Chains A and B, each alone.
Chain A
Amino acid sequence: MEKVYILGGAQTDFQRNWSKEGKSVIAMLRENIFDAMKDINLTREDIIQLNKDNKIAIFVGNFIAENYLDQGHLGALLTEVDSCFYGVPSARYEAACASGSVAIDAACSKIRDHTYDIALVIGFEMMKTVNSKVGGSFLGKAAFYELEAKDIDFPFPKLFARLADETIKKYNLDEERYMKALSRISYINYSNAKRNPQAQTRGWYMDKKQTLTRNTGTNPIIGGRLALTDCSQVTDGAATIVLCSKDYKEKYYQNTKKPIIKGFGHRVAPMIFGEKMKESKDNEYILPWTRQACMDAYQRASLTVEDIDVFETHDCFTSSEYAAISCFGITDPGKEYEAIENGTIAIDGNKPINPSGGLIGCGHPVGASGVRMMLDIYKQVTDTAGRYQIKDARNAMMLNIGGSATTNYVFIVGKEES
C-alpha cells in the first residue's frame, strides 16, 4: 500500500456549547481548521499555491447537519470559512457516526492514487442546537428509521441496550457481572477524560458508585438496562487532521518523524439490529462484521493485536465498547469482562482503551468522532498526548462505528519502521 502520512491536526474544546456562545458552524470550522493549519505550519497562501497545482483537497465528515443546522452541501460550505478554499475540491462524506472515518478513507484513496498531495479531513457536528430528545430523533436516522426509530424516544440507547441483552444471552453471562463491567467501562472513560484538556467531561465529578447505581435521580435509565452513565454525550465539536503523500512529506517535513496509516478495515453489517443478531446467531462474535473490519486492518498492516499499544474505540454506549474488546482480539469473544476486571484496558493496563476519555468522557460530536479518534492515536504515536500519553506507543488502533454497529471502520496508525 502507498504510504499515507499524518502531519497533525486539531480539535475544538468539546466542552464548548457553540449555540450558547451564539456562534455559527462557520465559526467552529474556522477555528478548528486554522488551529490545525497552525499545528502543521500551513498557511492560507500555501493552500492557494497547492490548489493552483490542483494538489490539495478537502474531505468533510458530517452526519446530519441538514437536521441540526438546516445546512447541506457541506463541502462547499468551506468557501464561507475563508477565500483560500475557493476552487479547492471539497465534498462531504457520510456514514452516520462513522462519517469522519469515511472521509479519512476517501482522502487516503486520493493520496494513494497520487491525485492529491495533501488532504484536510474535517469532521464536525453541532448538536446543541436542539434539545436531547429532538436530537435523539435526528440520530435515529442512522438506524432503519421506519422500523427502529420512528415515534420512539431515544432510539439508539434502546438499540444498544438490546446489544447488552443479546450479549448476556449469547455468552450466558452473569447479569450482575456484566453490568459491573459496563460500569467500569464508564468509570474508566470518565477518569481518563480528566487528563484530556479538550474533553467535554474533564471537570465533571464521577465515581465508581455513581456508575454502578442505575435508575436514580442523577443516573436515570435512558434505554433498557442502560443509564445515563452508560451513554456518550451530546457534544458540539470539530476535529481536523492533515494527511499527505510520501513525496509531500519528504519535501516539506523531511526532518520530522510523522506516523503513517498502516491499515484499515471497512465492513458494513445488516442495518436492522434484529437482522444483525439473526445473522450472527451461530458466529462466535456477536458483531462479526466489526470483528472482520479489525481483522482486515491487521492483515493490511501485517500486524496483530500484540503489536498494538493503545486503542481508541467507539463507546457511544458502554455495551459497544464491551463488544469491541474481543473484536480487537484483546480477549476471546464472551470473555471481555476479564480485560475489564483485571485492568487490561485501563490507562495503565497492557491494552489501554480510550486514554482520551472516548465518546463517554471526551464527547461525541458524531461527524467529528472518527477524525478525533485518529487525531488522538496520532498524538499517542507521536508522544504528544500530554497527560493521557501511553508510554512508548508505537502502533495504535481505532474503531469508529455508525448506526448499531452497522458501518464499521478501523484504522491502524503507527510509527514508520526505520
Chain B
Amino acid sequence: MRQRKHLNSFIRNTDDSRDSYTLIDFIEGIPLPFQTHNQKVVTVLGANGTMGRNVSAIFASFGECIVFMVCRDMEKANEAKELAIQSIRCESIGKNLFPGTYENLDSYIKRSNIVFESVSEDFQIKKNVYQKIKPFLKDDAIIATGTSGLSIKELSEIFDKHKNRFFGIHMFNPPYNLTLCELVTHSDEQRETAIQLKDYLQTKLNRTVVEVKDEPSFLGNRIGFFFIGEAMKLAEKYQDQGGIDYIDSILGCFTGRNMSPLVTADFVGLDVTKSIVDYIYENVLDEYRDSFAAPDYLNQLVMENKLGRKVNKGFYFKDRDRQLNFVYDIKQNNYRLMNNYQFYFANEMIKLFKNGQYEKGINLLIDDESQEATLCKKMLLSYIVYSLKISSEVSTDIASCDDAMATGFSWIPPIALIELLGGKEKTKYLINKYLDARYQHIINDKDFYKCIPEHSKYDFRPFLKAKY
C-alpha cells in the first residue's frame, strides 16, 4: 500500500509520453522515482557546485534521466535543484531531479547507470569519494569525472573491475550554451565502451563531443589557456603601454570572440586560471611551455584574493555606484581607470565588420604593420598553429580544435580563421613572416600541412564581432 501512495505522487502531472512505469526497488525513507525501461539513472556527486548542478540539468533534460543530485546537505541540494531548472529554463525537468545527500549514497549508486563525479579538483577528495561508491556500483555502470585537469589514468587506478568503465567527461560552463564535451579515455581497452558513450553524449545529451587523450587540460583549455597565457605575458611585457587593458584592446571581440582573453581569465576566475596554467606548466615539457608560466602579477593577485569577477576584483573591477571601470595596472601595482584605446586597424576592422565586409577587414589587419596590429596578427597566427598541433596530438581528429574553440569558448575556430585569412597558403606565408622557428617548422612540415583541412564546418562570420 505504501508503494501505491508513492506511485500516485509521482504519476501526477505526467502526460501520455510515458507508456510504462516500472518501480525501482523501494527503500524506506528515501523518495525514489519510477523509471521507464529505457530511462537511465544518474548520480551526480557534488551537485551543489556550478558544474555539478548544470550537468545534472543536462542529464535530466536532453538525457531524460533520473538524476540524484548528491550534495553535502539537503538545503544545498534543494537549492541546487532550483538552479539546475533555471539553467535550462524549463520547469518540466524538475520531475527528473532528486536532491539528496551522501547519507543515502549507497542506495543511489546501486541504482545508477552513470555516476558523474563533480567534487573539488583535489586528487585526495576525489579518491575518498570513489572509495565510498566503489562497493555499490552496478557491474555495468559508467563512472565519469568532470575534472578539467587531473589525470584520468591516475584517478582510474582506484577502481578495480570498473577501471575500464571510468572516463573523463569534461563539459564547459554553462553547458546549456556551450555544448563542448571532452571525452577522455585512459586505455585502449576502453575503445568499445567509448564509442557507445560518445554516441550517447552526442545524440542523446546534445553535446559536441571531441575524443581526447589523457593529456594535461585536454584540448579546449590547453588551447584556450595558451592564448590567455600568451596574453598575460604580453600584458606584462607591454606594461608601459598600459598592460592588461592595452592587450585586451588589441585582442578584442573583433578578433573573433565574445570577450577579450584577459576578461575571460577574470570571468573564469584568476585562481582557476592560475591552477590551469600552473598544471600545464608543471606537466608539459615542450618548447611552448613558457606560454603557461604564470606571471608574477597573477600570482600576487591570487594571493591577495583578488580572484576576478566573482569577487569583483581581479584584472578588472567595476565601481557599480559610480559606473566606472577600473583595471589592474601592472607597472603601478594598483587599479586605475580603464583606458579607452583606439587603434586605427581595430577601428577600421570594426567599421568593416559592422557592414559585413569580412575580407576587407582581415586584409586591413594583414597590411597594417603598426605595433598593435602586428601583436594581434602574431597572437592569431600562433593560436592557429598551436591549436592544430595540440589537436593533432591530443585528439583523434585534427579538426577537433574547431569544435573545441567554437563550442567551448565561443572563439573563432582555428580552421575557420585560416579560411578568413585567405586559405592555407596565405596563412602559411603569414606564419613564416610573423612567427618564430617554433611555429614555422610545424607549418612547414609537408605532412602536417597536408593534414590541415581546407574548410571548417564553422562559419567564421558570427564569431567576428563589430566591437572592441
Contact = CB atoms under 8 A, between A and B. Distances in A.
A396 to B, nearest CB: 27
B340 interface: no
B89, B354, B356, most chain A CB atoms within 10 A? B356
A24 B353 CA distance: 9
12 contacts: A21-B462, A22-B253, A22-B467, A23-B353, A24-B354, A27-B354, A203-B179, A205-B89, A207-B64, A216-B91, A218-B89, A218-B90
A200 to B, nearest CB: 13
A176 to B, nearest CB: 12
B355 A31 contact: no
B304 interface: no
Given A205-B61, A209-B15, A27 B356 contact: yes
A91 to B, nearest CB: 22
Nearest to B16: A208
Nearest to B13: A209
Interface of B: 13-17, 61-62, 64, 85-86, 88-93, 95, 176, 179, 206, 253, 350, 353-357, 459, 461-462, 464-467
B353 A22 contact: yes
B88 A22 contact: no
A21 B62 contact: no
Q: How large is the interface on A (under 10, 10 to 19, 20 to 34, 35 or more residues)?
A: 20 to 34
B interface SS class = loop
Given A21-B462, A209-B15, A27 B353 contact: yes
B353 A203 contact: no
B91 A218 contact: yes
A205 B88 contact: yes
A213 B13 CA distance: 9
A203 B17 CA distance: 21
B466 A22 contact: yes
Contact of A208 (B17, B61, B461): B17
A310 B89 CA distance: 32
B355 A30 contact: yes
Contact of A30 (B91, B176, B206, B356): B356
Contact of B462 (A13, A212, A216): A13
B191 to A, nearest CB: 28
Nearest to B82: A217
B422 to A, nearest CB: 17
Contacts of B462: 13, 16, 21
A56 interface: no
A22 B354 contact: yes
A206 interface: yes
A389 B408 CA distance: 30
Contact of A210 (B86, B90, B465): B90
A29 B356 CA distance: 9
Contacts of B206: 203, 205
A interface SS class = loop
A33 to B, nearest CB: 10
A21 B258 CA distance: 9
Interface in A183-203: 203
A106 B253 CA distance: 41
A169 B233 CA distance: 70
Interface of A: 13, 16, 20-24, 26-31, 80, 203, 205-210, 212-213, 216-219
A217 B464 CA distance: 34
Nearest to B355: A26
A27 B354 CA distance: 6
A219 B465 CA distance: 32
Q: Which 6 A-B pairs have the closest CB atoms?
A: A27-B356, A22-B466, A209-B92, A30-B356, A210-B92, A22-B467
B465 to A, nearest CB: 5
B353 A219 contact: no
B12 to A, nearest CB: 12
A21 B93 CA distance: 32
A27 B350 CA distance: 12
A212 B86 CA distance: 18
A13 B91 contact: no
A23 B356 CA distance: 7
B15 A208 contact: yes
A201 to B, nearest CB: 11
A218 B253 CA distance: 31
Contacts of B91: 210, 213, 216-219
A21 B465 contact: yes
B466 A23 contact: yes
A205 B464 CA distance: 27
Contacts of A217: 91
A31 B88 contact: no
Nearest to A212: B15
A309 B467 CA distance: 46
B92, B357, B467, most chain A CB atoms within 10 A? B92
A341 to B, nearest CB: 10
A82 to B, nearest CB: 10
Given A16-B462, A205-B88, A28 B356 contact: yes
A252 B90 CA distance: 51
A28 B466 CA distance: 13
B456 to A, nearest CB: 15
Nearest to B357: A30
Contacts of A207: 17, 61, 64, 90, 92-93
B461 A31 contact: yes
Contacts of B92: 207-210, 213
A80 B355 CA distance: 9
B411 to A, nearest CB: 14
B109 to A, nearest CB: 27
A367 B176 CA distance: 30
Contacts of A30: 355-357
A89 to B, nearest CB: 23
B61 A209 contact: no
A21 B355 CA distance: 11
A342 to B, nearest CB: 13
B14 to A, nearest CB: 7
Nearest to A205: B61
Nearest to A80: B355
